[in-house]
Amino acid sequence: MRKLASLVLGLSLLLSFSPAKADEGMWLLSLLKKQNAAEMQKMGFKLSAKDIYDINNNCMKDAIVGLGRAGRPFRHFCTGEIISNQGLFLTNHHCGFPSIQSHSTTEHDYLADGFWAYDKSEELTNEGITASILVRMEDVSKKVLSKVNDEMSEEERYTAIDKISKEIVKGAEEGTDYKASVKGMFEGNQYFLFIYEIYQDVRLVGAPPQSMGKFGGDTDNWMWPRHTADFSMFRIYTAPDGKPAKYSADNVPLKPKHHLPVSIKGVQEKDFAMIMGFPGTTKRYLTSYGLEETMKITNQNRYDIRTVKLDIMMKEMLKDPKVRIQYASKHAGSANYWKYSNEQNKALKKLNTMGAKQEIEDEYNAWATKKSKRAAKYGDALKMIEKAYADRKEIRYDMSYLSEALLQGAEMYMFSLKSTGLMKKLSAEKKDEDAIAKNVEGLKDAAKAFYKDYNKVVDQKLMAALFAKYAENIDVEKRPDIFKVIAEEYNNDYEKFAADVYAKSVFASEEAYNKFLENPTADAIANDIAFKIGNSIYAVYMAGAGEMNKGADQLKKGKRLFVDGLMQINKKKNLAPDANSTLRLTYGTVGGYSPKDGVYYNHYTTLKGVMEKENPASHEFKVPAKLKELFKNKDFGQYADKKGNLPACFLTNSDITGGNSGSPVINGNGELIGTAFDGNSEAMSGDIDFEDNLQRCINLDIRYTLFIIEKYAGAKNLIEEMTIVK
């Protein structure tokens, strides 16, 4: 968003995130009453800030679920919303995709056929998935920042903040079953404590077939008009006493403090709509120097490399149903940000975001240097940032290629490094046979999980192609040592080298690896070609990480001072901190948009559009026979609109990003009207520069969701759990 803000000091600062506007900002719930409630009510919100966030009474925040993984529960990858008094919650199909894939086999292909539990006994457990519900949040900035001063180095500052943060977390968790985390905001200028209940038994309840849940595939991803039934359903279970617990047959469905009523009244243009969820990362305060790195290195390299990777995977997936299931989640996860990177670069160029950022910096410098005392503290901030990005430009490019092409390319050689611990135990002077046996058993479990979704042919092709891609773009002297072997012994024939690796390595197949584990030796591991490859790549990664860290302190300091300055300039305005996987609220209205001259997109789509897009020759646009039959008969039940059509998706101008996937779209009465699942390609610059005229959130209409559950799947047991508002 680009608006001219009048400043008390007489300066004009063109801020891409200022002044605050209803359709921009990922707002902290504890500050809603002060910052946003009045504006929300003017727009059609009929409740109060306490109905959203209240630490003493049940409220809407108690129905919002952050999906995470064991070991990283605070890094929420998606959002869900509880819609029954039995812990049933909705999220996106692409959020549930890894779980659906993990349960799928060629005999029970839940990806192709969908999955529905018609009784709780049929629900499927998902080890490693967590569901977090916020208990409360607290501004702890004074406590944290009281321990730092301007004379400290960044390392000293980090150490002090880390120490007091751990003390705060310990105090918050003590005597409870809660888990807590202190998160920095505004580049370390504010700190908030978040306290959660984290549930560890999350079971799959329902999902439509992939042809509906991913309708349109990569072609329609980030695009409007959209017709994707992007939803899946899970249930949270607890111990019999209601406390979080790992899976047990004795566990019972969660009794939530609040669940969202579900409205089938529909949406109209200009209706108020708000979204609550766990947005992952935005970079609204990014400088022009960081923007250049994002566009020219991060986005461009990711797109170029993943184009090769995705093409190989898809070709093999289309050949073999087993491979399709094995690589479905990997392909989907890689493809999402492959397209995002390309579309974001297009939008950033078209909207001249670089020019906007440079104007911000010019005005910031004018403010920072106006007074000598201010200049002493803030005057060099942008110079620090500029130098840090310039110094790391070369290594950042190299590390980007290493990460995308080698670390995240073929999988077998990186899996081989899991045997490092066993090799060390086997080579010890005094062998601990019990420890060795325990390590072997652990590796057998790891192998079972790894090889389940591994195909030797696919992995070999990925290695050959991505090693070649890496070599094309990285200078010889910067490559891992294994590339010398490829040059000297294989004359840079990457296909021949890969064929040799997968023919000789004990890690190339589950059978070979399990046979090796029957009588493992340290020499066999150390001399295995895959193990050598993995270590060679890892050595370059560690060296590169060290180089990247050299300027990290100055970059961190420069960013902190720059954002601190912007906050002071705009101290009379409400500014939202960047997203960082903590619970936020964003609000706006339902509405269409004009992407270019002479074109206007309506705010909604219907099932008719699914039929219009159908293409049996494309794996992305297939339509199940039963859905076509329901459409032909107009058998939409109570979910049709006033014209007799079945709504599919709708648009709001809400401010979302990754992590918001699955977030509830809530009307002015606090009722669920849809689930957020995507942004529009024309405004893919939004994570960096919110463009209020273009930015739209693509949402699945709850009526399409309920129609599929009831009419397509016949899962009326799930409908009966919900509180339906007509």
User: Does residue 166 surpass a pLDDT of 90?
Assistant: yes
Output the pLDDT for position 23.
61
Is position 94 annotated as part of the catalytic site?
Answer: yes
Tokens coding 19 = 């002044």
Residue that the structure tokens 């329902």 belong to? 206
Could you report the per-residue pLDDT of 308-318, keeping only the tens digit for each? 999 999 999 99
The helix-helix angle for 381-401 and 353-368 (nearest 10°) equals 150
User: Does residue 2 surpass a pLDDT of 60?
Assistant: no
Answer for the pair 660, 79: CB distance below 8 angstroms, yes or no. yes
Output the pLDDT for position 534.
98
Q: Which of 104, 288, 400, 661 is catalytic?
A: 661
Kind and range of the H or E run holding 93: helix 93-103
Contacts of 200 (CB under 8 A, 6+ apart): 70, 130, 244, 245, 246, 247
3-class secondary structure per residue, 251-315: CEECCCCCCCCEECCCCCCCCEEEEEECCCCCCCCCCHHHHHHHHHHHHHHHHHHHHHHHHHHHH
Is position 230 annotated as part of the catalytic site?
Answer: yes
Is position 258 annotated as part of the catalytic site?
Answer: no
CA 101/CA 81 separation, integer angstroms: 22
All structural domains of the chain, each given as residue ranges with its CATH number in brackets, are 23-128+200-279+578-726 (2.40.10.120), 288-549 (no CATH)
Mean pLDDT value across residues 226-249: 98
Could you report the per-residue pLDDT of 345-361, keeping only the tens digit for each? 999 999 999 999 999 99
Mean pLDDT computed over every residue of the chain = 95
Side chain identity at 348, as an amino acid letter?
L
Query: For a pLDDT cut of 90, what percent of the chain falls above it?
Result: 95
User: How many residues can be counted in the chain?
Assistant: 726
Kind and range of the H or E run holding 601: strand 599-601
CA 12/CA 172 separation, integer angstroms: 43
Closest CA to 276 of 726, 652, 685: 652
Q: Measured in Å, how far apart are the chain's first and last C-alpha atoms?
A: 37
pLDDT grade for 7, boundaries at 50, 70 and 90: very low
Residue 502, by phi and psi: left (phi above 0), alpha (psi -120 to 50) or beta?
Answer: alpha
Tokens coding 6 = 């009048």
User: Does residue 571 surpass a pLDDT of 90?
Assistant: no
Q: Which of 94, 258, 259, 331 is catalytic?
A: 94
Could you report the per-residue pLDDT of 407-459, keeping only the tens digit for each? 999 999 999 999 999 999 999 999 999 999 999 999 999 999 999 999 999 99
Q: Which of 23, 51, 109, 230 is catalytic?
A: 230
- What pTM does this model have? 0.94
- Cα 467–Cα 464–Cα 458 angle in degrees, nearest 5: 125
User: Does residue 720 surpass a pLDDT of 90?
Assistant: yes
Tokens coding 563 = 């954002």
Q: Where are the beta strands (DSSP E) in 106-186?
A: 115-116, 124-125, 129-139, 179-185
Backbone angles phi, psi at 30, to 5 degrees: -70, -15
Residue that the structure tokens 């390595």 belong to? 505
Tokens coding 604 = 């909604």
Alpha helices for 606-708 (secondary structure H): 607-613, 625-632, 702-707
pLDDT grade for 645, boundaries at 50, 70 and 90: very high
Mean pLDDT value across residues 373-380: 96
